[in-house]
Amino acid sequence: MSVLQIIDLHVSVETDQGTKQILHGVNLTINEGEIHAIMGPNGSGKSTLAYTIAGHPKYTVDSGSILLDGEEVTTMTVDQRARAGLFLAMQYPVEIPGVTVTNFLRTAKTATDGVAPPIRTWIKEVRDSMKQLRMDKSFAERNVNEGFSGGEKKRNEILQLELLRPRFAVLDETDSGLDVDALKIVSEGVNRAKENTGLGLLLITHYTRILRYITPDFVHVFVDGRIAEQGGPELADRLEDEGYDRYQSKAVAR
Partner 1 sequence: MSATAILTTAMPTAGQHGITEHSDGRFGYVPVQTRSDRFTSVNVADFGPVTGREAVWKLSPVKKFTDLTTGALDGSQYPVESISVAGVSVAWVGRGDSRIGSAGAPEERASANAWSSFEKALAITISGEEAKEITVTRAQLGSGPRGAHTIIEAKPFSRAILILSNTGEARLTENVEIILGESANLTVVSLQEWGDTAVHLTNHFATIGRDARLKHVVVTLGGSIVRVNPSVRLSGAGSDTELLGLYFADAGQHLEQQVFVNHAAPNSRSRVTYKGALQGQGARTVWIGDVLIGRDAAGTDSYEQNRNLVLTEGTRADSIPNLEIETGDIKGAGHASATGRFDDEQLFYLQSRGITEDEARRLVVRGFLSEIVQQIGSPVLEERLQAAIEAELTESTPA
Residue 82 as a binder of partner 1 (CB under 8 A): the answer is yes
**Residue placing its CB nearer to partner 1 in the complex, 8 or 141:** 141
CB of 46 to partner 1, least distance (A): 17
Q: Report how far residue 221's alpha carbon sits from residue 69's, in angstroms, rounded to the nearest whole number.
A: 25
Nearest to 87 by CA among 138, 151, 160: 160
**Residue placing its CB nearer to partner 1 in the complex, 81 or 220:** 81
CB of 76 to partner 1, least distance (A): 11
Q: Which stretch binds partner 1 (CB under 8 A): 36-44, 78-86, 124-132, 197-205?
A: 78-86
Residue 54 as a binder of partner 1 (CB under 8 A): the answer is yes
Residue 76 as a binder of partner 1 (CB under 8 A): the answer is no
Can you tell me which of 74, 143, 191, 248 binds partner 1, judged by CB under 8 A? 143
Can you tell me which of 15, 16, 42, 98 binds partner 1, judged by CB under 8 A? 98
Residues between 212 and 231 with contacts to partner 1, criterion CB under 8 A: none
Residues between 144 and 183 with contacts to partner 1, criterion CB under 8 A: 160, 164
Q: Report how far residue 210's alpha carbon sits from residue 65's, in angstroms, rounded to the nearest whole number.
A: 29
| Residues that bind partner 1 in the complex, under the rule CB under 8 A | 54-57, 77-79, 81-83, 87-88, 90, 93-100, 103-104, 107-108, 111-112, 143, 160, 164
